[in-house]
């Protein structure tokens, strides 16, 4: 994943309820009201029992997930190379900024999204 380090800065890693969270905060930009807005990009990693198989994990995630799943894929499908991994087409990625600053931040967010690789 490419995140431009000249304008996005990694905050201290957070660990909470079995999740590891990396938050990148952007240098502030000004909105039309001259407020300083700090867009964010977050990466969330979940700790999972290594004995749990990918199918069980997937069933649990889909039952509790707040997103629509178009397709599920696992290691060996040729889409992802991580062993004991599960992926979903429809995975939720959250990038945050205000509506007013979105037009100027949108190209950066799109570049970050396009850079996400396995």
Average pLDDT, integer, range 49-54:
76
Q: Evaluate whether residue 62 is within a structural domain.
A: yes
| pTM of model > 0.75 | no
Domain count, the chain: 1
Helix ranges (H only) for the chain are: 54-64, 102-115
**31-51 burial: b if 16+ Cβ within 10 Å, else e:** beeeeebebebeeeeeeeeee
Q: Evaluate whether residue 1 is within a structural domain.
A: no
Q: Evaluate whether residue 100 is within a structural domain.
A: yes
Q: pLDDT (tens digit, 9 = 90+) per residue, 96-108?
A: 888 889 899 999 9
- Domain extent at residue 45: 8-115
**pLDDT over 70 percentage in the chain:** 88
Q: Evaluate whether residue 3 is within a structural domain.
A: no
Q: Using the predicted structure, report yes or no on whether residue 30 has a pLDDT greater than 70.
A: yes
């Amino acid at each position: 994943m490419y995140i431009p380090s000249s304008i996005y800065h990694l905050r201290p890693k957070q660990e909470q309820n079995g999740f590891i969270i990396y938050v990148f905060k952007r240098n502030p930009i000004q909105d039309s009201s001259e407020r300083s807005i700090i867009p964010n990009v977050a990466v969330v990693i979940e700790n999972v029992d290594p004995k749990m198989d990918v199918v069980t994990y997937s069933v649990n995630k889909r039952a509790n997930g707040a997103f629509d799943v178009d397709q599920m894929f696992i290691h060996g499908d040729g889409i992802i190379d991580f062993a004991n991994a599960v992926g979903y087409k429809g995975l939720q990625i959250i990038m945050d900024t205000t509506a007013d600053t979105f037009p100027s931040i949108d190209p950066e967010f799109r570049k970050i999204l396009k850079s996400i690789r396995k």
